[in-house]
Amino acid sequence: ACCQMVEALLAVLILICSSVSYGSTGGYTGLPSLGGIYYYQYGGAYSGLSGADGEKAQQLDHRFYLLKLPIARAAVAVGGCLLVLPCVLILVGVLRLPWHFPAWLLLECILDIVIAIGIVPALYYFFHFLLGVYNSSVCKEREQLYQSKGYQGFRCSLHGAEIAAGLSGCIAVMAYLLSAGLSVRGYRTVHKLKQKPVEL
């Protein structure tokens, strides 16, 4: 149960970190477009991107967002599936299904191993796809445009949330393998207890 709770927590982290890229719709918004007090307090020229540069920044942001969207959606979907599974297994444990049907623990072991093995190529594809996006001409052009105006937060490199999602995935692999080992151990323990006569 502790392993399954850790798996659920890691799935939540993967879901949150992956949704950072998925949640941003892209598109630059300069402070002048906000109007009102915000405009007058910070000044109309504060954003540094207006007119043709502002429109170009919006287009590049939107194209960059569309490039990242497929892998962001896939990562959110995987995180959601990884969250549902341990929650179901915890519920099964609370209902004491493994005690009544010990073979369930072997099925759980196989499932854990399959998931742990499946996460490895998923992580490879995740980072391979992202590095392809960051090496694209759209990202390079976007980076140069923002750097020309003094903005440094638009580099073509992995950001913290994406690295955190990858690390959470690596830890999840170890957690699932540990859970698989504990499932086999639990099966042996339940099998032995069921063979012993009840001592009053």
Average pLDDT over residues 149-173: 86
pLDDT in tens, 124-159: 999 999 999 999 999 898 888 888 877 777 788 888
Q: What is the pTM of this model?
A: 0.76
Residue 181 makes CB contacts below 8 A (sequence gap 6+) with 109
- Give, for 181, the enclosing helix (H) or strand (E): helix 160-195
State the pLDDT at residue 1: 76
pLDDT in tens, 55-65: 888 888 888 88
State the pLDDT at residue 128: 94
State the pLDDT at residue 192: 77
Residue 80 makes CB contacts below 8 A (sequence gap 6+) with 11, 15
| Structure-block tokens of residue 77 | 């979907």
Mean pLDDT of the chain: 79
pLDDT in tens, 37-81: 433 333 333 355 666 777 888 888 888 888 888 888 899 899 889
